[in-house]
Chains A and B, each alone.
Chain A
């Protein structure tokens, strides 16, 4: 057991402390690209070999040897004082509590050490920003030597974080009109890792520790310079985007409030829209229909790039049953295209646009697989195109209902086929949440062998 004592400092402090006169630069590079460089391939080759385990599914020989998997995220490369530090996201065999793990390798060994495995005290699936990684702190470290098994890690960890702040250039001051959104700020924080006092009962005591007063912590060297690596925030991969977006803390809370039987039992829709606020306000805007006007109404003047809404259970209007569709609607498809325009106008990327629907028959989302309409169609032309889509959607839904096959699987197939016939097959992706919290997702696609089969379900890993 180790104790994490983290402190926050500024880049200048660190430079002063270590008499360094240069800035720390972070670059992101692909693993495959780095393997062409000697320094990196040598650093990888120094990793201690591990005996083959029985769990070899889907691993390369190298990963199997070392007992971890490298996650397909960019490698962060930090050059500092003639040494290069490579940080990769990994998942080790022993990661039973799903924490975020990074492998830090040096271009040249420091004494016998070739690098570290750092375990952050945050779920690897629940990373919002580097700010949240920082606030959670480091849970554990293991030092890697070229020979033998990883040992308990000690050292001074300089973690360079480049994260989004809600503050407009003034750290930790989010009041008044100075607040903006998306201000990128680089901070450095330092974590000292010392083994726990063996007499303290093994608990985390923090701040240098309590317990045996005679306990002398070991020397905390060497200095490790790293930067957290988790999901690729620059990725346009809709799976990664969806997973990252839906795992944000505030977003999850809002979805959780909507994803309730009592909300689905209403006689009108509820949901929320998301934007990039310009005044530090919440990025979310709630929306709710009424009994008289049951559908969701977009808030005026709110330039949204995403929406989450509930498709209610069947309900009565007067004495007539309103049979709701527990699937993304044709309007949702149109909204996604509008959200793409909005996302770009807001300074985001087309891949940030989303529409998500919660229902008693599952939670679904649509994302753009590539930017549309590009230069091919005007907005008005899209409207006309969408009218055709809607007409066909309504015809198919009605036919399914009259046939008595109005279930979720048939609705999924119907929507996928409709996207295909309308030329959207490679432009709009349909996703289904695989957990109730709607934080894990699978992409649904038509089975190429037989499009009447169940849709193919590909998990977003």
Chain B
């Protein structure tokens, strides 16, 4: 009788242990599957970012650029506020997705003579509304940003910030992208499309 009870108990114990192991395995797989794969910013290039990859600013290379920068050109003042966005989701129709840290820029363009604001994106709160977004990462004291207008003509270009941000001064350059006037862009020529940000080289100084 005692022998039978012991064997039943052992069987129950094994059964419970198996269930625990199974639960732990499921939990481990689920956790591993749902977790992102953290990668340095410079992982990207000829290699593919894996699904659930997270291009993270592990070495804080973005931080020196964060802040407010200001410069003047053609009687106007350009104030550029650079902020860091973490874990921006990039998802695609194929189901593939990954994350990346990124800098975004908000700006004000003021008329120096009147003090009036010509253009501003300072009130944009959604990431999707950002007209200035960093591309890749800074290298050899050069950092490029994508600029895109929010209007129907959708002009795009690249902003290049050159110099060591620790000096609190950066050179600013603008390079226009290809631009075609599609149906929704009602201007007579590309030259008529308003680009509010500076399109000429200038010096930006950190003000905050």
Decide: B148 and A423 in contact? CB cutoff 8 A.
no
Interface residues of A in 326-382 (CB under 8 A from B): 329, 331-332, 334-335, 338, 379-380
Whether the pair A269, B189 counts as a contact (CB closer than 8 A) is no
B191 lies within 8 A of chain A by Cβ: yes
A295-B179, A322-B175, A400-B45 are contacts. A392–B136 as well, Cβ < 8 Å? Answer: no
Within the complex, what minimum Cβ distance (angstroms) separates B48 from chain A?
Answer: 7
| Interface size range of chain A in the complex | 35 or more
Of the candidates A294, A300, A395, A421, which one forms a contact with B181 in the assembled complex, judged by CB atoms under 8 Å apart?
A: A300
Q: Which of A84-92, A223-231, A402-410 contacts B (4 or more CB under 8 A)?
A: A402-410
Tell me if B156 is interfacial: C-beta within 8 Å of chain A: yes
- Inter-chain contacts of A46 with B (CB < 8 A): none
Residues of B within 8 A of A399 (CB): 44-45, 136
- Whole-angstrom distance between the Cβ of A20 and the nearest chain B Cβ: 52
B154 contact set on A, CB distance < 8 A: 383, 387
Contact B136 A300 (CB under 8 A): no
What number of B residues sit within 8 Å (CB to CB) of A?
A: 41
Residues of chain B within 8 A of A392, CB atoms compared:
90, 92
Q: Which residue of chain B has its CB nearest to the CB of A317?
A: B175
Query: Is B60 interfacial (CB-CB < 8 Å)?
Result: no
Q: Which residues of A contact B93 (CB under 8 A)?
A: 421-423
Q: Is B135 an interface residue (CB 8 A)?
A: yes
Answer whether A402 and B96 are a contact pair too, CB < 8 Å, given A298-B180, A318-B173, A394-B146.
Answer: no
CB contact list, B112-133 vs A, under 8 A: 133
A422 in contact with B181 given A300-B189, A398-B136 (CB within 8 Å): no
Across the A-B interface, give the 3 residue pairs with the lowest CB-CB distance, nearest first.
A403-B45, A423-B93, A398-B135
17 chain-A/chain-B pairs, Cβ below 8 angstroms? A269-B178, A293-B191, A300-B181, A317-B173, A320-B201, A329-B177, A380-B184, A391-B146, A395-B44, A396-B44, A398-B144, A403-B46, A405-B45, A421-B94, A421-B96, A452-B46, A452-B47
Known: A320-B173, A402-B42, A423-B92. 13 other contacts (CB 8 A): A298-B182, A318-B201, A320-B160, A320-B162, A331-B178, A331-B180, A379-B184, A383-B182, A395-B44, A398-B135, A403-B46, A405-B45, A422-B92
- Residues of B participating in the A interface, judged by any CB pair closer than 8 Å: 42, 44-48, 90, 92-94, 96, 100, 133, 135-137, 139, 144, 146, 148, 154, 156, 158, 160, 162, 173, 175-184, 188-191, 201
